[in-house]
Amino acid sequence: MKVAVIGATGLVGGKMLQVLEERKFPVSQLIPVASDKSIGKKIKFNHHDYPVISIEEAIEKTPQVALFSAGGNVSLKYAEKFAEKGTVVIDNSSAWRMHEGIKLVVPEINGDILNAQDKIIANPNCSTIQMVMALYPLHCRYKIKRIVVSTYQSVTGTGALAVSQLMDERKGKKPEKSAYPYAIDLNVIPQIDIFMPNSYTKEEMKMVNETRKIMNAPEIKITATTVRIPVIGGHSESVNVEFEQAFEVEKVKEILSESPGVIVQDDINNLVYPMPKNAHECDEVYVGRIRRDESIENGLNLWIVSDNLRKGAATNTVQIAELLLKNNLLKA
C-alpha cells in the first residue's frame, strides 16, 4: 500500500511515521511530503530511506491514503486534488472538520459512519478527542446536558518552535524565534489560537463545535477555556459535566474502565491520578479525580489526560486508516 504523509518532517508528521511503524500498518511504499526546503531530505521508515518529495509529485503517485499534517491552508489547497485521483485523505488540520458532508471521526466513537464515498475524512482537534473519548460512553448512559472544560495544554500542540522556545527559556537562553507572544517557561498563557468575535479563542470553539458533531449531540451546552502550560507529554483537562439522569460514581468508573482506549487512574488514597508525564508516548486516554459535583444535581468532575501527539493526532489518524482497511474501504 502506498501511503503519503504530508508534513512528514513536522512534529505530528514524524509521530505519524512512528505510529505507522509501531502498529505495522501495511506500507509498501512511503511517500513523504514536506515544504520545498525539505525536498530531497531522506526519511527513514521501516529500515528504508525515502526522499521527501513535493506535494504535486505525491499526487501523481496516487497513494491509496494520504495522511495530512501540514496546516489548514495546505489541506484546503490539496486534499481535493488527492481525492480526485482516488486517494483517501485523512486530514489532521481544522480545515475540513466542520464542513457539511465531511466526517469527523474518532474510531472508538463514530467509526461506523465511514463508507466508500468518504474521500476526505477529518481528524478532530487533540483536546476534543481526549474529552469525547471519556464523555461519550457516559453520554450514552446518562445523557449529557452541559459541559464546562478548562484545558492545560502541552507546548507540543503548537509545534517544534514552541518546544524549542520552552527549552531555550528553561536554560536561561533568549530564543531566536518564539512561538508565543510571552515567555512560556514558569508561565501560563490563557490563549490558544486567535480570538474570535465572541471573545473565545478558535481552540475553544473547536472544542464546542467538534464535540457536538462527533457525539451527534447538537443540543449539549458546552463552554471551554483553553490554556497553554510549560509541559511536554500531553494535554490535561478539568471537565465538569451535568447529566440529565442520576448516576453513581462507582458505576461511572466501571463504564469508563470498560471503554476501549480509556484507562481509569483514580486512587486518591495512594495519590494515583493522571499526569501528562506518565501519558507521554502512550495512546490511551487517562481519567481520574472522578467525583460528584456537589453544587448541582447530576454533576460530575473528571480529570482527563492524553498524549496530544499520539491519540490527539497521529494515532487517531492511523486508527482511521486501519478502520478503512479493515472494512475494505482502502484497496491494498
Query: Quick one: pLDDT at residue 331?
Result: 73
> What was the pLDDT predicted at 332?
65
Give just the sign of the alpha carbon dihedral 174, 178, 182, 187.
negative
User: 94 near 126, Cβ under 8 Å?
Assistant: no
Judged by DSSP in three states, 148 sits in strand
Structural domains for the chain: 2-124+313-326 (3.40.50.720), 127-308 (3.30.360.10)
- 185 CB-contact burial (10 Å; exposed 0-12 / middle 13-18 / buried 19+): middle
Which residue ranges of the chain lie beneath pLDDT 50? none
Look at residue 330 in the predicted model and tell me its pLDDT. 87
217: nearest Cα among 123, 302, 122, 145: 145
Q: Which positions are catalytic?
A: 126, 235
C-alpha 330/C-alpha 332 separation (Å) is 6
CA dihedral 281, 284, 287, 288 (to 10 degrees): -50
DSSP conformation letters of 245-302: S---HHHHHHHHHTSTTEEE--BGGGTB---HHHHTT--SEEEEEEEEETTSTTEEEE
Residues 6+ apart with CB under 8 A from 117: none
CA 89 – CA 321 distance, rounded (Å): 9
Whether residue 253 contacts residue 266, with contact meaning beta carbons closer than 8 Å, is answered with yes
Which ranges constitute the DSSP H helices of the chain? 11-22, 55-60, 72-84, 107-110, 126-142, 160-170, 202-214, 249-257, 276-279, 315-326
